[in-house]
């Protein structure tokens, strides 16, 4: 369960533990953000964001090759994930949520962050992370 103002991400797992995800919000609402981290892609480094909420009940499929994060917009927001691979801590990587190179408008400047998210690496270091 997340409080409003919590930001998580931008997370992904490297091969051979890369994951695709199907996400939705069960309770509350969240700004969901994905970043294309596929070097060969024409949209490499670009992001996509949308609001997911428990009223609309929309789901978002996030293929392998994308970093994922979200901002809880309401207290008590609950996210649900279905993943194509198990969580593997040694394969997890985190891109800095507010890296200026990504120009993501999260609508917040001083969110609550986990230690893992505070330690995110700049997007420019992505090649060294994979």
Residues recognised as catalytic: 11, 81
- Residue 42: Cβ within 10 Å count: 7
Measured between alpha carbons, how far is 109 from 88 in angstroms, rounded to an integer?
Answer: 30
Measured between alpha carbons, how far is 82 from 110 in angstroms, rounded to an integer?
Answer: 29
Measured between alpha carbons, how far is 62 from 13 in angstroms, rounded to an integer?
Answer: 12
Measured between alpha carbons, how far is 118 from 98 in angstroms, rounded to an integer?
Answer: 10
Measured between alpha carbons, how far is 20 from 13 in angstroms, rounded to an integer?
Answer: 9
């Amino acid at each position: 369960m997340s409080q409003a103002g919590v930001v998580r991400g931008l997370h992904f797992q490297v091969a051979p533990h890369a994951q695709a995800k199907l996400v939705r919000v069960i309770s509350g609402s969240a700004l969901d953000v994905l970043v294309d981290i596929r070097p060969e892609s024409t949209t490499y480094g670009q992001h996509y964001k949308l609001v997911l909420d428990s009223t609309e009940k929309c789901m978002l499929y996030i293929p392998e090759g994308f970093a994922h994060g979200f901002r809880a917009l309401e207290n008590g927001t609950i996210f649900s994930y279905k993943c194509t691979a198990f969580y593997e801590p040694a394969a997890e990587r985190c891109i800095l949520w507010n890296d200026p190179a990504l120009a993501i408008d999260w609508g917040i400047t001083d969110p609550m962050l986990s230690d893992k998210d505070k330690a995110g690496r700049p997007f420019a270091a992505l090649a060294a992370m994979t």
